[in-house]
Protein backbone atom coordinates (compact mmCIF):
# COMPACT_ATOMS: atom_id res chain seq x y z
CA UNK A 1 0.00 0.00 0.00
CA UNK A 2 1.29 3.44 -0.93
CA UNK A 3 1.88 6.06 1.78
CA UNK A 4 3.59 9.42 2.32
CA UNK A 5 6.12 10.13 5.07
CA UNK A 6 4.99 13.02 7.32
CA UNK A 7 7.63 12.79 10.02
CA UNK A 8 10.91 11.00 10.54
CA UNK A 9 12.70 10.67 13.83
CA UNK A 10 15.40 8.46 12.41
CA UNK A 11 14.12 5.31 14.05
CA UNK A 12 10.43 5.52 13.26
CA UNK A 13 8.25 7.35 10.80
CA UNK A 14 4.78 8.82 10.72
CA UNK A 15 3.15 7.88 7.43
CA UNK A 16 -0.29 8.47 5.91
CA UNK A 17 -1.93 6.24 3.35
CA UNK A 18 -4.06 7.45 0.46
CA UNK A 19 -7.23 7.33 2.61
CA UNK A 20 -5.58 9.65 5.12
CA UNK A 21 -5.07 6.95 7.77
CA UNK A 22 -2.00 7.65 9.85
CA UNK A 23 0.46 5.01 11.12
CA UNK A 24 3.74 4.82 12.96
CA UNK A 25 6.03 2.76 10.79
CA UNK A 26 9.45 1.24 10.99
CA UNK A 27 11.88 0.40 8.29
CA UNK A 28 13.18 -3.09 7.79
CA UNK A 29 16.65 -3.56 6.43
CA UNK A 30 18.61 -0.91 4.62
CA UNK A 31 17.90 0.86 1.34
CA UNK A 32 20.54 2.43 -0.76
CA UNK A 33 19.10 5.44 -2.51
CA UNK A 34 20.37 7.53 -5.41
CA UNK A 35 23.91 6.40 -4.64
CA UNK A 36 23.93 9.18 -2.06
CA UNK A 37 25.69 8.83 1.26
CA UNK A 38 23.16 10.22 3.64
CA UNK A 39 22.63 9.90 7.36
CA UNK A 40 18.94 9.19 6.84
CA UNK A 41 17.54 6.90 4.16
CA UNK A 42 13.90 8.03 4.40
CA UNK A 43 12.85 11.64 4.62
CA UNK A 44 9.70 13.69 5.06
CA UNK A 45 7.85 13.91 1.76
CA UNK A 46 8.97 10.50 0.53
CA UNK A 47 6.47 8.20 -1.12
CA UNK A 48 6.86 4.72 0.28
CA UNK A 49 5.28 1.29 0.19
CA UNK A 50 4.04 0.05 3.55
CA UNK A 51 2.89 -3.30 4.84
CA UNK A 52 0.46 -3.57 7.70
CA UNK A 53 0.90 -6.75 9.64
CA UNK A 54 -2.05 -6.47 11.99
CA UNK A 55 -5.17 -4.42 12.60
CA UNK A 56 -3.79 -2.80 15.73
CA UNK A 57 -1.70 -0.56 13.53
CA UNK A 58 1.45 -1.66 15.21
CA UNK A 59 3.85 -3.62 13.09
CA UNK A 60 3.64 -1.31 10.11
CA UNK A 61 6.79 -1.50 8.04
CA UNK A 62 8.16 0.47 5.13
CA UNK A 63 9.25 -1.97 2.48
CA UNK A 64 10.13 0.27 -0.41
CA UNK A 65 10.79 3.88 -1.28
CA UNK A 66 9.67 5.39 -4.58
CA UNK A 67 11.82 7.64 -6.76
CA UNK A 68 12.05 11.23 -5.60
CA UNK A 69 11.09 14.13 -7.83
CA UNK A 70 13.71 16.16 -5.94
CA UNK A 71 15.10 16.53 -2.44
CA UNK A 72 17.01 19.02 -0.37
CA UNK A 73 19.91 18.08 1.85
CA UNK A 74 21.89 19.85 4.51
CA UNK A 75 25.52 19.17 5.07
CA UNK A 76 27.01 19.97 8.40
CA UNK A 77 29.84 22.52 8.23
CA UNK A 78 31.85 20.06 10.34
CA UNK A 79 31.48 17.25 7.84
CA UNK A 80 30.69 18.45 4.34
CA UNK A 81 30.51 14.97 2.95
CA UNK A 82 27.79 13.83 5.26
CA UNK A 83 24.36 14.65 3.85
CA UNK A 84 21.14 14.80 5.75
CA UNK A 85 18.03 14.80 3.59
CA UNK A 86 15.62 17.39 4.96
CA UNK A 87 12.72 16.52 2.71
CA UNK A 88 11.77 15.43 -0.77
CA UNK A 89 9.20 15.99 -3.51
CA UNK A 90 9.01 19.74 -2.93
CA UNK A 91 7.43 22.45 -5.06
CA UNK A 92 8.85 25.48 -3.29
CA UNK A 93 10.64 26.69 -0.24
CA UNK A 94 9.88 29.64 2.03
CA UNK A 95 13.05 30.98 3.58
CA UNK A 96 12.13 32.75 6.81
CA UNK A 97 14.58 35.51 7.68
CA UNK A 98 14.62 38.29 10.28
CA UNK A 99 16.49 41.58 10.51
CA UNK A 100 16.73 41.28 14.30
CA UNK A 101 15.97 38.83 17.13
CA UNK A 102 17.66 36.83 15.65
CA UNK A 103 19.57 38.45 12.79
CA UNK A 104 19.78 36.54 9.53
CA UNK A 105 22.96 37.44 7.65
CA UNK A 106 23.08 38.03 3.94
CA UNK A 107 25.76 35.34 3.67
CA UNK A 108 23.32 32.83 5.13
CA UNK A 109 20.57 33.85 2.70
CA UNK A 110 22.98 33.51 -0.21
CA UNK A 111 24.12 30.06 0.87
CA UNK A 112 20.54 28.97 1.21
CA UNK A 113 19.68 30.30 -2.26
CA UNK A 114 22.68 28.53 -3.82
CA UNK A 115 21.55 25.32 -2.26
CA UNK A 116 17.96 25.80 -3.50
CA UNK A 117 19.21 26.71 -6.98
CA UNK A 118 21.29 23.56 -7.06
CA UNK A 119 18.25 21.46 -6.15
CA UNK A 120 16.03 23.45 -8.56
CA UNK A 121 13.60 24.42 -5.82
CA UNK A 122 12.09 27.90 -6.16
CA UNK A 123 12.52 30.01 -3.04
CA UNK A 124 10.52 32.91 -1.65
CA UNK A 125 12.22 35.02 1.01
CA UNK A 126 9.94 36.02 3.89
CA UNK A 127 11.17 38.62 6.36
CA UNK A 128 9.26 38.11 9.62
CA UNK A 129 8.93 40.18 12.82
CA UNK A 130 8.19 43.39 10.89
CA UNK A 131 6.63 44.71 14.13
CA UNK A 132 10.16 45.00 15.57
CA UNK A 133 11.61 47.04 12.71
CA UNK A 134 12.53 50.64 13.42
CA UNK A 135 14.05 53.04 10.90
CA UNK A 136 17.38 51.22 10.72
CA UNK A 137 15.79 47.79 10.24
CA UNK A 138 13.32 49.15 7.66
CA UNK A 139 16.26 50.46 5.66
CA UNK A 140 18.04 47.14 5.90
CA UNK A 141 14.91 45.36 4.75
CA UNK A 142 14.44 47.70 1.77
CA UNK A 143 18.05 47.14 0.79
CA UNK A 144 17.70 43.33 0.93
CA UNK A 145 14.39 43.46 -0.92
CA UNK A 146 15.97 45.51 -3.71
CA UNK A 147 18.93 43.14 -4.02
CA UNK A 148 16.87 39.95 -4.22
CA UNK A 149 13.97 41.27 -6.28
CA UNK A 150 16.40 42.56 -8.90
CA UNK A 151 17.70 39.01 -9.30
CA UNK A 152 14.18 37.65 -9.61
CA UNK A 153 13.34 36.31 -6.16
CA UNK A 154 10.06 37.17 -4.47
CA UNK A 155 10.53 38.97 -1.14
CA UNK A 156 7.77 39.45 1.44
CA UNK A 157 7.61 41.28 4.73
CA UNK A 158 5.32 39.93 7.41
CA UNK A 159 4.64 40.02 11.12
CA UNK A 160 3.17 36.90 12.65
CA UNK A 161 2.63 39.01 15.76
CA UNK A 162 0.42 41.69 14.13
CA UNK A 163 -0.74 39.63 11.12
CA UNK A 164 0.78 42.06 8.62
CA UNK A 165 1.27 40.26 5.27
CA UNK A 166 0.43 36.85 6.75
CA UNK A 167 -2.64 36.19 4.60
CA UNK A 168 -0.69 36.87 1.43
CA UNK A 169 2.01 34.36 2.34
CA UNK A 170 -0.64 31.86 3.42
CA UNK A 171 -2.17 32.06 -0.06
CA UNK A 172 1.17 31.04 -1.60
CA UNK A 173 0.77 27.61 -0.03
CA UNK A 174 -2.29 26.51 -1.99
CA UNK A 175 -1.84 23.16 -3.74
CA UNK A 176 1.94 23.19 -3.27
CA UNK A 177 4.34 21.18 -1.16
CA UNK A 178 6.25 23.89 0.70
CA UNK A 179 9.34 23.67 2.87
CA UNK A 180 9.68 26.21 5.69
CA UNK A 181 13.31 26.95 6.57
CA UNK A 182 15.45 29.49 8.37
CA UNK A 183 17.42 30.04 11.56
CA UNK A 184 16.00 28.94 14.88
CA UNK A 185 13.73 31.60 16.40
CA UNK A 186 12.66 33.34 13.17
CA UNK A 187 9.04 32.28 13.75
CA UNK A 188 8.47 29.31 11.43
CA UNK A 189 6.30 27.38 13.87
CA UNK A 190 4.61 30.59 15.06
CA UNK A 191 3.62 31.30 11.45
CA UNK A 192 2.03 27.87 11.15
CA UNK A 193 0.18 28.29 14.44
CA UNK A 194 -1.09 31.65 13.24
CA UNK A 195 -2.50 30.39 9.97
CA UNK A 196 -3.55 26.94 11.25
CA UNK A 197 -4.25 27.32 15.00
CA UNK A 198 -5.26 23.66 15.23
CA UNK A 199 -1.63 22.65 14.67
CA UNK A 200 -0.70 23.93 18.09
CA UNK A 201 3.06 23.67 17.57
CA UNK A 202 5.58 24.38 20.26
CA UNK A 203 7.32 27.77 20.01
CA UNK A 204 9.82 29.48 22.32
CA UNK A 205 11.16 32.99 22.79
CA UNK A 206 14.61 33.79 21.50
CA UNK A 207 17.23 33.65 24.27
CA UNK A 208 17.83 37.01 26.02
CA UNK A 209 21.36 35.95 26.55
CA UNK A 210 22.51 34.94 23.07
CA UNK A 211 19.80 36.56 20.95
CA UNK A 212 19.43 33.21 19.21
CA UNK A 213 16.58 30.75 18.89
CA UNK A 214 16.20 27.81 21.23
CA UNK A 215 15.95 25.06 18.60
CA UNK A 216 12.40 24.37 19.61
CA UNK A 217 11.37 22.28 16.62
CA UNK A 218 13.53 19.17 16.60
CA UNK A 219 12.24 17.09 13.69
CA UNK A 220 10.94 18.08 10.28
CA UNK A 221 7.22 17.44 10.09
CA UNK A 222 4.73 17.77 7.27
CA UNK A 223 1.14 19.00 7.66
CA UNK A 224 -1.82 18.98 5.30
CA UNK A 225 -2.90 22.47 4.29
CA UNK A 226 -6.70 22.50 4.78
CA UNK A 227 -7.30 24.33 1.46
CA UNK A 228 -4.93 22.06 -0.48
CA UNK A 229 -1.21 21.44 -0.35
CA UNK A 230 1.30 20.43 2.30
CA UNK A 231 3.73 22.35 4.44
CA UNK A 232 6.84 21.15 6.23
CA UNK A 233 8.04 22.77 9.45
CA UNK A 234 11.75 22.18 10.03
CA UNK A 235 14.24 22.66 12.86
CA UNK A 236 16.20 25.92 12.69
CA UNK A 237 19.44 25.83 10.69
CA UNK A 238 22.53 26.94 12.59
CA UNK A 239 25.02 27.17 9.79
CA UNK A 240 24.66 25.99 6.27
CA UNK A 241 27.35 23.83 4.73
CA UNK A 242 27.23 23.79 0.96
CA UNK A 243 26.40 20.83 -1.18
CA UNK A 244 29.28 19.62 -3.30
CA UNK A 245 29.70 22.47 -5.72
CA UNK A 246 33.03 22.80 -7.55
CA UNK A 247 34.46 26.34 -7.56
CA UNK A 248 34.06 26.46 -11.33
CA UNK A 249 30.33 26.01 -10.99
CA UNK A 250 29.55 28.30 -8.10
CA UNK A 251 28.51 31.26 -10.28
CA UNK A 252 25.95 29.07 -12.05
CA UNK A 253 23.90 29.18 -8.86
CA UNK A 254 23.87 33.00 -8.78
CA UNK A 255 21.15 33.73 -11.37
CA UNK A 256 22.47 37.24 -12.10
CA UNK A 257 25.96 35.80 -12.81
CA UNK A 258 24.67 32.76 -14.67
CA UNK A 259 23.15 35.14 -17.21
CA UNK A 260 26.58 36.59 -18.01
CA UNK A 261 29.02 33.71 -18.00
CA UNK A 262 29.11 33.38 -21.76
CA UNK A 263 30.30 36.97 -21.96
CA UNK A 264 33.51 36.43 -19.98
CA UNK A 265 36.67 36.06 -22.03
CA UNK A 266 37.49 32.69 -20.54
CA UNK A 267 34.86 30.01 -20.46
CA UNK A 268 36.19 28.74 -17.15
CA UNK A 269 36.27 32.24 -15.63
CA UNK A 270 35.80 32.29 -11.86
CA UNK A 271 35.23 36.06 -11.92
CA UNK A 272 38.06 36.92 -9.57
CA UNK A 273 41.38 37.81 -11.21
CA UNK A 274 40.68 37.04 -14.84
CA UNK A 275 40.79 39.84 -17.43
CA UNK A 276 37.68 40.80 -19.42
CA UNK A 277 35.29 39.32 -16.93
CA UNK A 278 31.66 40.23 -17.65
CA UNK A 279 30.66 39.60 -14.03
CA UNK A 280 33.24 42.00 -12.62
CA UNK A 281 32.23 44.58 -15.22
CA UNK A 282 28.60 44.23 -14.17
CA UNK A 283 29.60 44.73 -10.53
CA UNK A 284 31.58 47.86 -11.46
CA UNK A 285 28.54 49.18 -13.32
CA UNK A 286 26.26 48.39 -10.37
CA UNK A 287 24.29 45.91 -12.44
CA UNK A 288 25.25 43.17 -10.01
CA UNK A 289 25.05 44.00 -6.32
CA UNK A 290 28.44 44.43 -4.69
CA UNK A 291 27.09 42.63 -1.60
CA UNK A 292 26.20 39.59 -3.67
CA UNK A 293 29.62 39.63 -5.33
CA UNK A 294 31.30 39.78 -1.91
CA UNK A 295 29.16 36.81 -0.82
CA UNK A 296 30.21 34.99 -3.97
CA UNK A 297 33.92 35.60 -3.25
CA UNK A 298 33.56 34.51 0.39
CA UNK A 299 31.76 31.33 -0.54
CA UNK A 300 34.21 30.62 -3.35
CA UNK A 301 37.03 30.85 -0.86
CA UNK A 302 35.26 28.52 1.56
CA UNK A 303 34.99 25.71 -0.99
CA UNK A 304 37.51 23.08 -0.23
CA UNK A 305 38.73 21.72 -3.53
CA UNK A 306 40.68 18.72 -2.36
CA UNK A 307 37.82 16.57 -3.53
CA UNK A 308 37.79 17.74 -7.14
N1 LIG B 1 7.95 40.25 17.79
C2 LIG B 1 7.67 39.14 17.09
N3 LIG B 1 7.95 37.92 17.60
C4 LIG B 1 7.65 36.84 16.85
C5 LIG B 1 7.04 36.93 15.58
N6 LIG B 1 6.89 35.68 15.08
C7 LIG B 1 7.37 34.84 16.02
N8 LIG B 1 7.82 35.53 17.10
C9 LIG B 1 8.41 34.98 18.34
O10 LIG B 1 9.66 34.40 18.02
C11 LIG B 1 9.94 33.32 18.91
C12 LIG B 1 10.42 32.10 18.15
O13 LIG B 1 9.37 31.59 17.37
P14 LIG B 1 9.29 30.09 16.87
O15 LIG B 1 8.03 30.00 16.06
O16 LIG B 1 9.48 29.12 17.97
O17 LIG B 1 10.56 30.02 15.90
P18 LIG B 1 11.02 28.81 14.94
O19 LIG B 1 11.52 29.45 13.69
O20 LIG B 1 9.95 27.80 14.81
O21 LIG B 1 12.28 28.23 15.75
P22 LIG B 1 12.88 26.71 15.76
O23 LIG B 1 11.75 25.77 15.93
O24 LIG B 1 13.79 26.71 16.96
O25 LIG B 1 13.62 26.55 14.50
C26 LIG B 1 8.64 33.08 19.69
O27 LIG B 1 8.77 33.67 20.97
C28 LIG B 1 7.60 33.82 18.88
O29 LIG B 1 6.53 34.31 19.67
C30 LIG B 1 6.74 38.24 15.08
O31 LIG B 1 6.22 38.45 13.98
N32 LIG B 1 7.09 39.31 15.87
MG1 LIG C 1 9.90 25.80 15.28
ZN1 LIG D 1 34.08 36.18 -15.35
What is the topology classification, in CATH, of domain 247-307?
Ribonucleotide Reductase Protein R1; domain 1 (1.10.40)
Burial level of 59, CB count in 10 A (0-12/13-18/19+)? middle
Residue whose Cα lies nearest atom 23 of ligand 1: it is 217
Strand partners, 85: 73
Residue whose Cα lies nearest atom 16 of ligand 1: it is 203
Of 3.40.50.300, 3.20.20.70, 3.40.50.1860, 3.40.50.1000, the CATH number of 75-80+87-233 is: 3.40.50.300
Ligand 1 atom with least separation from CA of 158: 31
Ligand 1 pocket residue status of 184, Cβ below 6 Å: yes
Q: How far apart are CA 270 and CA 267, in angstroms?
A: 9
Q: How far apart are CA 59 and CA 24, in angstroms?
A: 8
Domain boundaries, the chain: 2-65, 75-80+87-233, 247-307
Of 3.40.50.970, 2.40.50.140, 3.10.580.20, 3.50.50.60, the CATH number of 2-65 is: 2.40.50.140
Strand partners, 5: 15
Q: Do domains 2-65 and 75-80+87-233 have the same CATH topology?
A: no
Going residue by residue through the chain, which has 308 residues, state the pLDDT in tens, using 9 for 90 and above: 999 999 998 788 999 999 999 999 998 766 555 555 666 789 999 999 999 887 665 689 998 899 999 998 887 666 666 778 889 999 999 999 999 999 999 999 999 999 999 999 999 999 999 999 999 999 999 999 999 999 999 999 999 999 999 999 999 999 999 999 999 999 999 999 999 999 889 998 988 878 888 888 888 999 999 999 999 999 998 877 776 789 999 999 999 999 999 999 999 999 999 999 999 999 999 999 999 999 999 999 988 765 44
Closest-lying ligand to the alpha carbon of 258? 3
Amino acid sequence: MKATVYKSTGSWYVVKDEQGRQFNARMLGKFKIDGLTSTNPIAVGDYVEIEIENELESGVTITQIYDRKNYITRTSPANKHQHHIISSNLDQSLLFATIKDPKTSQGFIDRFLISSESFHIPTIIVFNKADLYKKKEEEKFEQMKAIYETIGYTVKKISVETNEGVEEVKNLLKDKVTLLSGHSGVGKSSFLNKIFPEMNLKTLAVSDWSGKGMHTTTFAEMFDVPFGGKIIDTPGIRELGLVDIPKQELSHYFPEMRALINDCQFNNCMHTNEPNCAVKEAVAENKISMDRYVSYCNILESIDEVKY
